Amino acid sequence: MDDGLTEEVKEHRKTQYAIHPLLLNRWSPRSMTGESMSDAELMPLFEAARWAPSSNNAQLWRFVYARRQSKFWEAFLDLLVEGNKVWAQHAAALVVITSGMFFEQGDQPADTHAFDAGAAWENFALEGARRGFVVHGMQGFDYDKARRTLGVPERYAVLAMAAVGKRASGESLPAHLLKREFPSGRRPLNEIVLEGRFG
């Protein structure tokens, strides 16, 4: 039966209830070809992010990016810890995801800014995965250096980075990463969904 799942996802991911294949087909490969991506390939991912919901429709997320052929590339790559650099150096683009911690009018804290930016990031990742690209989130980078290098204002939080690129077969990866190049599983539903009270 054609359930819309990729072969690798079919092999590694089992759901407790049927959900849309888009959600399961997104995962975080590391192996990329080192090719660049055109605007026509890259910008639809930001377009998808743009349509995420946010509190007050404030859209406080800001994506700062560098493409591999640009003058900004080396500075972005230099933000990453070695363990990420080793594979993310083959990406087509590196993205730093930031979001405003206060609403733009006045100084009222935007309590859900990170929640909203997370929704935008997932849209970005889903659209990228749907188009067959690698979209891989990263916490392994120097947050302070990112703020300084990119000129991120104090009102904005630096949340995460992402590597985006064209997928390659895993052989180019070091052995310890090749071993992990498959879709991961998840905790069972009863561990994360709690009726009435926490615990």
Ligand X SMILES: Cc1cc2nc3c(=O)[nH]c(=O)nc-3n(C[C@H](O)[C@H](O)[C@H](O)COP(=O)(O)O)c2cc1C
Q: 90: buried, middle or exposed (CB in 10 Å: 19+, 13-18, 0-12)?
A: buried
Q: What residues are paired with 178 via a beta bridge?
A: none
Q: By C-beta, is 10 or 103 nearer to ligand X?
A: 10
**Count, residues near ligand X per rule CB under 6 A:** 10
User: What are φ and ψ of residue 20, in 5° steps?
Assistant: -65, 135
According to the binding rule CB under 6 A, does residue 139 interact with ligand X?
A: yes
Candidates 142, 121, 128, 127; CA nearest to 91 is 128
**Closest approach of ligand X to the CB of residue 119, in Å:** 12
Span 65-94, contacts to ligand X by CB under 6 A: 84
**Closest approach of ligand X to the CB of residue 140, in Å:** 3
Q: By C-beta, is 66 or 80 nearer to ligand X?
A: 80
**Closest approach of ligand X to the CB of residue 61, in Å:** 13
In angstroms, the CA 61 to CA 123 distance is 12
The three-state secondary structure class of 139 is coil
- Under the rule (CB under 6 A), what is the footprint of ligand X? 27-28, 84, 137-140, 160, 183-184
